Amino acid sequence: MQMPLSFAADARLPVILDRLSAAWPPREAQNADPLSQLVFMLVSADTPSAIALAAHQRMRLRYPRWSDLRDEAPEVLLNVLRGVERAVEKAVTLPRLLQAIEDRHGLLELDFLGGWSTAAAREWLEALPGVDSTISAATLNFSTLRRTILTLNNQTARAARRLGLVEKGAPMSALDRQVMDRVPADWQAREVSVLYGGLRKLTETYCHQGKPECGRCPLNDLCPSASAQSASIIRFPGITATKQPAASA
């Protein structure tokens, strides 16, 4: 049986947020409407940001109305999505996704979810074609819905695991909720989205899939997975933990 993380582990999260924000200052961007955010998340899944943004821009130029994208043939859409990871699958899924939203809601928009609880909205979204827990969380957090819910993709989940923000061996689908159980009670949507953005930068810069560069990481002294370079014990107010070798995700 997995033991829950200690209360002391929660105390690191404000410090982690401050350090990530100092290392990679968050950009204050205007939030998109939830359907635009949902479509962008599906396009950008597992794809480098620059490629995903370019593909999404091409797509919006070519299909200014959602009904245009809904009715597009996958083989044509595939060209618009060139460069995107799993483009073939996404070219099939995107029109189906929009059709499913219209079938279930009657309109091609998701603003109605603003009147729903976060749990109910998430359940509704995750029943749509191609929408997993990462995409539903991002839609609810990054869009104008601004729900206090954490997005974790495969990369940021790696950092969360190494930092000990989740239980060892927990399935991917449980990770965002486990981190959310440990964030300060006064955190709101902005803090949570800044945490995601910082973890994303962290994984791109230091917390690589292979060998992490723990010696350069701003969270080194807070991380139980940091490579044993300077000391065998991590000390942080209220936390004492034995360092473990860096674990792979």
152 touches ligand SF4 by CB under 6 A? no
Among 137, 157, 214, 234, binds ligand SF4 (CB under 6 A): 214
207 touches ligand SF4 by CB under 6 A? yes
Among 197, 220, 234, 243, binds ligand SF4 (CB under 6 A): 220
Q: Which is nearer to ligand SF4, 9 or 55 (CB)?
A: 9
Among 101, 225, 234, 243, binds ligand SF4 (CB under 6 A): 225
165 touches ligand SF4 by CB under 6 A? no
Answer for the pair 199, 166: CB distance below 8 angstroms, yes or no.
Answer: no
CB of 178 to ligand SF4, least distance (A): 17
156 touches ligand SF4 by CB under 6 A? no
226 touches ligand SF4 by CB under 6 A? yes
Closest to 29 (Cα-Cα) out of 178, 194, 165, 157: 194
* Beta strands at 233-236 and 239-242: parallel, antiparallel or unpaired: antiparallel
Select the span of 15-23, 52-60, 156-164, 188-196 touching ligand SF4 (CB under 6 A).
156-164
163 touches ligand SF4 by CB under 6 A? yes
CB of 222 to ligand SF4, least distance (A): 8
Determine the size of the site formed for ligand SF4 (CB under 6 A): 15
One-character DSSP codes across the chain: -PPPPPHHHHTHHHHHHHHHHHHSPPP--PPPPHHHHHHHHHHHTTS-HHHHHHHHHHHHHH-SSHHHHHT--HHHHHHHTTTSTTHHHHHHHHHHHHHHHHHHHSSS--GGGGGS-HHHHHHHHHTSTT--HHHHHHHHHHSTT--S-----HHHHHHHHHTT-S-TT--HHHHHHHHHTTS-TT--HHHHHHHHHHHHHHHHHTS-SSS--GGG-TTGGG-TTS-SSS-SEEEETTEEEE--PPPP-
125 touches ligand SF4 by CB under 6 A? no
161 touches ligand SF4 by CB under 6 A? no
CB of 5 to ligand SF4, least distance (A): 15
212 touches ligand SF4 by CB under 6 A? yes
Q: Which is nearer to ligand SF4, 79 or 154 (CB)?
A: 154
Residue 214 CB-half CA count within 13 A: 23
Q: Which is nearer to ligand SF4, 41 or 159 (CB)?
A: 159
Q: Which is nearer to ligand SF4, 135 or 217 (CB)?
A: 217
Answer for the pair 61, 127: CB distance below 8 angstroms, yes or no.
Answer: no
By the criterion CB under 6 A, which residues form the site for ligand SF4? 159, 162-163, 206-207, 212-214, 217, 219-220, 223, 225-226, 246
